[in-house]
């Protein structure tokens, strides 16, 4: 089976897999079995459930529209479904926790869910407000985003020999928070950050009603049984990830209240990193209070003064307040697998070698550390039987693009510093593009086209989406102000519709 860590496969005995996945479902108490299809033998139960959901969605949207809580355009965008709808299905994928113990995490496919149009629209509506404004300063998407803050922290003299680097990994973020708590924090968020009673023409009460509907109708298939998720939000309906993000935003305020304003605090969904110059005993007391205050959030915590990693960034704190940063590698599986990237979508026009080089530059302050990382990247590709010509061409294109071809001949810190400034600027420009895209899609009417394309073919299709349209529709979309977005069509089991 494929791991949640890209490019890695895991083999285990079926008994072990069954034991761990069953334990997960029992421990989290997030799922309720609705019907065992092997026992009931009812062939039409899935279709009946889908029909019921479609009818209830239609009724809800009509009611909201009749009460002028949503606009005509919003009604049609949230009521637009693909020709074929499917019930979500869940699978478990292996990963490792902070202590490198193998565990299994659920993954739910919802691409063709009848809930997806509502999910997409609510995400487009609220994501710009949350990610671009409210949580912009504390949100990161990859370990490299932390490095520049650490370097500034050191330059300002805040890094001491006794400084603690603290990483927190929240357990089971998709399954641990009750629906009532998620809704309560969403209401707080809307009240705190939306001054009017509407956003883009949608009444705030409609947002609450639609979110409540999403939470209460999370049905999926697993092991030939229909389940309902009664706590948390599934991974497939990505608006629910934003909902969990909002909950964690309010939860983290307790940590920030104890923290000195000069310290670092960042979060990438369920992974947090912060610095502190408090005594360890005081820190332990603070985190004990935080755990007791919110029983929904359980986490693993590491407090180190010398070496720690956060996502894919490795941090070393040597004597005399010397900071060294580089790319983190799990040496039990690397370099036998291809580089595993966080947030690789930000650099989707590059191949994986070039994306890994960008990460290396963002993480490594010293040219020697970059040189070692470049060698690691080359070795991992050689091990995976890529040609020397392909590897060399990718490297040359990278250095040529950033106008530092001299680094292919000799490694010089001054030239590397030039490269680093250019790559950082490139990274910041990508972040700005993502923010701008969020702002634009909030206002757009988007028509979703489903495609079986993958990889570079899917990327090219997304650049020219009209080419996938039927001829009679080709010229009409621009004139109607409709934007087309290509969605990869996941494979569904035959019993999901």
Tokens 């939000």 belong to: 233
Mean pLDDT, rounded, for 390-404 = 93
Q: What is the 3-state secondary structure (H, E, C) of 221-268?
A: EECCEEEEECCCCCCCCHHHHHHHHHHHHHHCHHHHHHCCCCCCEEEE
Cα–Cα distance for residue pair 241/255, rounded to 1 Å: 21
For residue 110, the surrounding DSSP H or E stretch is: none
pLDDT, position 17: 87
Mean pLDDT, rounded, for 375-394 = 92
pLDDT per residue as tens digits for the range 46-74: 999 999 999 999 999 999 999 999 999 99
pLDDT, position 351: 80
How distant, in Å, are the alpha carbons of 61, 79, 204, 347 from that of 68?
10, 16, 12, 41
Q: Please report, rounded to a whole number, the percentage of residues in the chain having pLDDT higher than 70.
A: 91
Cα–Cα distance for residue pair 151/159, rounded to 1 Å: 9
Phi, psi of 40 (to 5 degrees): -75, -30
Cis amide linkage into residue 341, ω under 30° from 0? no
Residue 476 — very low, low, confident or very high, per pLDDT cuts 50/70/90?
low
Query: Degrees (nearest 5) of the Cα angle 60, 61, 63?
Result: 65
Strand arrangement of the beta sheet that strand 322-327 belongs to: 307-310, 313-318, 322-327
Q: In the predicted model, is pLDDT for residue 439 greater than 50?
A: yes
Q: In the predicted model, is pLDDT for residue 225 greater than 60?
A: yes
Q: In the predicted model, is pLDDT for residue 346 greater than 60?
A: no
Residue 479 — very low, low, confident or very high, per pLDDT cuts 50/70/90?
very low
Q: What is the CA radius of gyration of the chain?
A: 24
Q: In the predicted model, is pLDDT for residue 478 greater than 80?
A: no
Query: Degrees (nearest 5) of the Cα angle 404, 359, 261?
Result: 115
Q: Structural domain boundaries of the chain?
A: 27-328, 331-445, 452-488
Mean pLDDT, rounded, for 241-249 = 98
- Paired tokens of 312: 């894919």
pLDDT, position 43: 72
261 or 459: which leads in pLDDT = 261
Q: Which range, of 140-149, 209-218, 293-302, averages the lowest pLDDT?
A: 293-302
100 C-beta neighbours (distance < 10 Å), count: 8
Tell whether the torsion through CA atoms of 390, 393, 398 and 404 is positive or negative.
Answer: positive
- Paired tokens of 113: 């869910």
Mean pLDDT, rounded, for 350-360 = 89
Cβ pair 297, 176 in contact under 8 A: yes
Pairing verdict, β 307-310 and 299-304: unpaired
The SS3 of residue 184 is helix
- Which residues, including other chains, have CB under 8 Å from residue 497's CB and lie 6 or more apart? 46, 47, 50, 84, 85, 86, 87
Residue 452 — very low, low, confident or very high, per pLDDT cuts 50/70/90?
confident
Residue 6 — very low, low, confident or very high, per pLDDT cuts 50/70/90?
low
The SS3 of residue 304 is strand
Closest CA to 259 of 414, 131, 153: 153
Cβ pair 361, 318 in contact under 8 A: no
Q: What is the DSSP letter of 320?
A: G
Q: Please report, rounded to a whole number, the percentage of residues in the chain having pLDDT higher than 90.
A: 68
| Of 33-42, 219-228, 312-321, highest mean pLDDT | 219-228
Average pLDDT score, the chain: 89
- Paired tokens of 68: 């002028």
Closest CA to 389 of 435, 355, 353, 419: 353
Cα–Cα distance for residue pair 50/228, rounded to 1 Å: 13
Closest CA to 92 of 166, 44, 22: 22
Residue 481 — very low, low, confident or very high, per pLDDT cuts 50/70/90?
low
Query: Degrees (nearest 5) of the Cα angle 208, 212, 215?
Result: 140
Tokens 């590059």 belong to: 350
Q: Which range, of 39-43, 173-177, 194-198, 241-245, averages the lowest pLDDT?
A: 39-43
Q: In the predicted model, is pLDDT for residue 88 greater than 70?
A: yes
406 or 255: which leads in pLDDT = 255
Q: Is 456 exposed, middle or buried (0-12, 13-18, 19+ CB in 10 A)?
A: exposed
pLDDT, position 480: 58
Q: Is 205 exposed, middle or buried (0-12, 13-18, 19+ CB in 10 A)?
A: middle
Cα–Cα distance for residue pair 69/198, rounded to 1 Å: 9
| pTM for the whole structure | 0.92
Mean pLDDT, rounded, for 431-442 = 95
Residue 444 — very low, low, confident or very high, per pLDDT cuts 50/70/90?
confident
End-to-end CA distance of the chain: 25
């Amino acid at each position: 089976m494929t791991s949640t860590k890209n490019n890695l496969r895991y083999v285990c005995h079926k008994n072990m897999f069954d034991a761990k996945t069953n334990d997960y479902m029992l421990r989290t108490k997030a799922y309720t079995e609705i019907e065992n299809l092997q026992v009931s033998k009812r062939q039409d139960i899935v279709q009946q459930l889908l029909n019921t959901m479609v009818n209830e969605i239609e009724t809800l949207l009509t009611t909201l529209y009749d009460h002028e809580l949503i606009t005509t355009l919003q009604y049609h965008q949230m009521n637009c479904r693909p020709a074929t709808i499917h019930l979500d299905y869940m699978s478990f994928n292996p990963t490792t926790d902070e202590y490198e113990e193998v565990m299994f995490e659920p993954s739910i496919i919802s691409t063709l869910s009848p809930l997806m149009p509502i999910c997409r629209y609510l995400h487009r509506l609220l994501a710009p407000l949350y990610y671009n404004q409210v949580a912009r300063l504390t949100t990161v998407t990859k370990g490299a985003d932390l490095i520049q803050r650490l370097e500034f922290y050191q330059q300002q003299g805040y890094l001491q020999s006794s400084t603690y680097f603290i990483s927190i990994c929240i357990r089971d973020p998709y399954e641990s928070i009750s629906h009532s708590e998620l809704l309560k924090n969403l209401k707080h968020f809307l009240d705190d950050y939306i001054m009017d009673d509407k956003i883009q023409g949608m009444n705030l009460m409609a947002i609450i009603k639609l979110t409540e509907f999403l939470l209460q109708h999370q049905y999926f298939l697993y092991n030939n049984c229909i389940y309902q998720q009664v706590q948390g939000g599934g991974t497939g309906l990505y608006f629910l990830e934003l909902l969990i993000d909002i909950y964690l935003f309010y939860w983290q305020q307790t940590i920030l209240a104890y923290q000195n304003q000069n310290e670092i605090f960042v979060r990438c969904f369920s992974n947090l990193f912060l610095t502190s110059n408090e005594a360890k005993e005081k820190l332990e007391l603070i985190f004990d209070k935080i755990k007791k205050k919110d029983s929904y959030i359980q986490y693993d915590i590491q407090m180190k003064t010398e070496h720690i990693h956060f996502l894919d960034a490795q941090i070393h704190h040597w004597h005399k307040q010397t900071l060294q940063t580089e790319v983190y590698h799990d040496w039990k599986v690397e370099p036998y697998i291809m580089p595993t990237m966080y947030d690789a979508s930000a650099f989707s026009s590059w191949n994986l070698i070039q994306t890994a080089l960008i990460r290396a530059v963002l993480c490594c302050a010293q040219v020697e550390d970059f040189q070692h990382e470049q060698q690691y990247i080359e070795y991992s590709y050689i091990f995976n039987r890529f040609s020397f010509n392909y590897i060399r061409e990718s490297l040359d294109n990278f250095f040529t693009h950033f106008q530092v071809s001299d680094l292919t001949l000799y490694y010089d810190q001054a030239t590397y510093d030039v490269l680093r400034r250019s790559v950082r600027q490139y990274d910041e420009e990508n972040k700005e593009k993502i923010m701008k895209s969020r702002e634009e899609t909030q206002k757009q009417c988007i028509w979703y086209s489903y495609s079986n394309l993958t990889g570079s073919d899917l990327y090219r299709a997304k650049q020219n989406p009209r080419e996938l349209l039927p001829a009679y529709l080709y010229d009409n979309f621009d004139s109607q102000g409709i934007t087309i977005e290509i969605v990869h069509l996941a494979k569904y089991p035959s019993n999901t519709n």
